[in-house]
Amino acid sequence: MTEGRNPDSANLDRMSVEEVLTLINREDRKVVPAILARIPEIARAVDLVVKAFLAEGRLFYVGAGTSGRLGVLDAAECPPTFGTDPEQVQGIIAGGYGALVRAVEGAEDDAAGGADALRDRNLSARDVVVGLAACRRTPFVAGALGYAREVGAPTILVTANPPDDLPVDVDVPISLVVGPEVIMGSTRMKAATAQKMVLNMLTTTAMVRLGKVYENMMVDLMATSEKLRERGKRILMISEGLSYDEAASLLTRSGGSVKLAIVMHRTGTDVKEAGRRLAEVGGWVRKAVEKRN
């Protein structure tokens, strides 16, 4: 399907700039309903990811080209946003990290390479592997998923092809049928947009289910930049009704942990006691502040 020709863009080279932009925008609107139709499958995928994390397993994204870049991007965004260990979510792209900035032609055809990449990372049954393949023919991804099944790791495939046209058996297929692209075969467009949205959903929802979000705030962020340090203070100002200076002081006393700071303030405890309360409830701020002792 991703190599099909879109009849609505057959005269693309004759259109005005505004007509091209309007057409692209109209096609992009097909992404959201395509994802909505797959919410049950995405929910099953989230359950597998959460189960892996609770077992101290890892999430691996495996893809080639644009799909691979999106996997690496989502993996890179998890540590600063949710305070995860960089090893917990990893992106693997055909051709290696050099392929992030320059296309490595033919790398996607290396099925053995996909398996080797996971083997090199000591994949185990505790981990979960998400294959990212816009089209049905991506041997690198198929090889990785095949190896994951041999190891006993749960497998998920995010693709733009129909569920009855998949290259390999997986535990959860997520088929995002967005139709042919405005430019035939250019899966960096709708197919990639759909994949990015699903990856956002997978990791964000998994992190919510792991207690890394309080209300709708990223309380497990890593304050590795001035922007994130200021965000931490702003969260405390909003959540606890503190002034800027009070929030800064509380954050300093908590060792820079927004989670600890909220529990300390809500329960009137010191950092050690707040840490104990959080540990007892698996890191959930809401549960920690509602505990009676």
- The catalytic position among 27, 41, 108, 181 is 108
CA distances from 45 to 37, 90, 131, 154, 265 (A): 14, 16, 12, 9, 36
> In the block, which residue shows the tokens 């099925």?
111
- Which tokens belong to 107? 């790398």
Are residues 62 and 68 in contact, defined by beta-carbon separation less than 8 angstroms? yes
27 catalytic per annotation: no
Dist. CA 123–CA 116, nearest whole Å:
10
- The catalytic position among 77, 230, 240, 246 is 77
Dist. CA 137–CA 279, nearest whole Å:
45
77 catalytic per annotation: yes
H or E segment and range at residue 235: helix 226-240
Are residues 205 and 185 in contact, defined by beta-carbon separation less than 8 angstroms? no
Residues ≥6 apart with Cβ < 8 Å to 116 = none
Are residues 183 and 189 in contact, defined by beta-carbon separation less than 8 angstroms? yes
**Enzyme catalytic residues:** 77, 108
